[in-house]
């Protein structure tokens, strides 16, 4: 039986993950996942694609979402009372217009120092009405696309086996920034074909394959690019028809609820891989 072995949310887009034993699954993904975003002063989102030092910023947020603390080794920490009522400002994510509530000058100054470039921190407003794409539509905060990213250990094991054949070291799971890590799917890339999943009282619907970018080349522990892997190896066996390489799967939330590490993962509907 397959089961959940890791749960990770990423409260601030592009920053380090926050592991948990249990989590609330909302229509927009794990609670607080990508609820905040770092932007330039003019509102354009920052990501590890150009600002790999974001990986060094480790967020912590309470279950009620009222207090956010950011830590970075060597830079100390900053804590803020989350503003949910301020007037939203215009922000931009992959060229698309959204809005965000600015979280103030203290967080902005701290992030600007850590990243070495002028930055602001914004939060998703309450009326955020984003609709995500894919086979099953849904919503999300400031995620690249869909609400939930699922990846299995066997999928990573296959990649690491191929890296070993090249004489390269294995890569950790954090290179791929999943929300739910599954163990027990013995066939790699089973998540490609798992089109409806139930975990405890939650349900996920397949949206699309996860097309990977240069963020997978960033060493999450040092905040710097360490390429060309894994993209070089993935290009040899995981090329997607629409371009790029696929690794992992994106899902929309069909039924919110609570899930925990150790919960069984049931596939209630299978489909063909779109690779």
pLDDT tens sequence across 50-92? 999 999 999 999 989 999 999 999 999 999 999 999 999 999 9
Instruction: Name the nearest CA neighbour of 225 among 52, 78, 84, 15.
Output: 52
% the chain with pLDDT above 90: 97
Per-residue pLDDT, 244? 94
The alpha-helical segments, DSSP class H, found in the chain are: 105-115, 153-165, 231-234
Per-residue pLDDT, 227? 84
Mean pLDDT calculated for residue range 130-148: 97
Report d(CA 130, CA 14) in Å as an integer.
19
Per-residue pLDDT, 257? 98
- Residue 241 predicted with pLDDT over 90: no
CATH numbers and ranges of domains, the chain:
3-28+132-270 (2.40.33.20), 34-123 (no CATH)
Per-residue pLDDT, 212? 97
Per-residue pLDDT, 162? 98
Under 8 Å between Cβ of 6 and 263: no
Per-residue pLDDT, 242? 83
Q: Which helix (H) or strand (E) holds 210?
A: strand 202-212
Q: For the ranges 150-159, 205-214, 236-245, which has the lowest average pLDDT?
A: 236-245
Report d(CA 67, CA 81) in Å as an integer.
5
pLDDT tens sequence across 10-55? 999 999 999 999 999 999 999 999 999 999 999 999 999 999 999 9
Looking at the whole model, is its pTM more than 0.95? yes
What percentage of the chain's residues is helix, strand, coil (to nearest 5)? 15, 40, 45
Report d(CA 69, CA 57) in Å as an integer.
10
pLDDT tens sequence across 155-200? 999 999 999 999 999 999 999 999 999 999 999 999 999 999 999 9
Say if residue 89 is exposed, middle or buried (CB neighbours under 10 Å; 0-12, 13-18, 19+).
middle
**Residue 230: cis peptide before it, omega within 30 degrees of 0:** yes
Per-residue pLDDT, 72? 97
CA atoms lying within 13 Å on the CB side of residue 177:
29
């Amino acid at each position: 039986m397959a089961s959940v072995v890791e749960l990770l949310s990423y409260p601030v887009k592009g920053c380090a993950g926050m592991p948990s034993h249990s989590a609330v699954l909302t229509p927009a993904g794990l609670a607080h996942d990508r609820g905040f975003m770092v932007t330039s002063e003019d509102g354009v989102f920052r990501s590890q694609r150009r600002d790999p030092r974001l990986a060094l910023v480790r967020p912590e947020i309470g279950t009620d979402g009222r207090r956010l603390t950011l830590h970075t080794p060597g830079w100390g920490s900053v804590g803020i009372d989350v503003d949910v009522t301020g007037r939203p400002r215009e922000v931009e994510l992959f060229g698309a217009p959204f809005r965000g509530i600015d979280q103030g000058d203290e967080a902005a100054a701290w992030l600007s120092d850590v990243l070495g470039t002028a930055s602001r921190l914004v939060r998703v407003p309450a009326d955020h009405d984003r609709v995500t794409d894919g086979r099953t539509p849904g919503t999300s905060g400031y995620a690249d696309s869909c609400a939930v990213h699922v990846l299995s250990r066997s999928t990573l094991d296959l990649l690491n086996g191929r890296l070993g054949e090249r004489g390269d070291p294995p890569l950790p799971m954090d290179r791929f920034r999943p929300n739910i890590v599954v163990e027990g799917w013995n066939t790699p890339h089973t998540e490609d074909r798992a089109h409806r999943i139930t975990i405890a009282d939650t349900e996920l619907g397949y949206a699309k394959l996860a097309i990977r970018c240069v963020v997978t080349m960033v060493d999450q522990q040092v905040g710097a690019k360490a390429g060309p892997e894994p993209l070089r190896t993935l290009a040899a066996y995981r090329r997607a028809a629409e371009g790029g390489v696929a690794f992992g799967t994106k899902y929309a939330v069909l039924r919110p609820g609570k899930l925990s590490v150790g919960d069984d993962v049931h596939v209630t509907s299978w489909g063909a891989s779109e690779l």
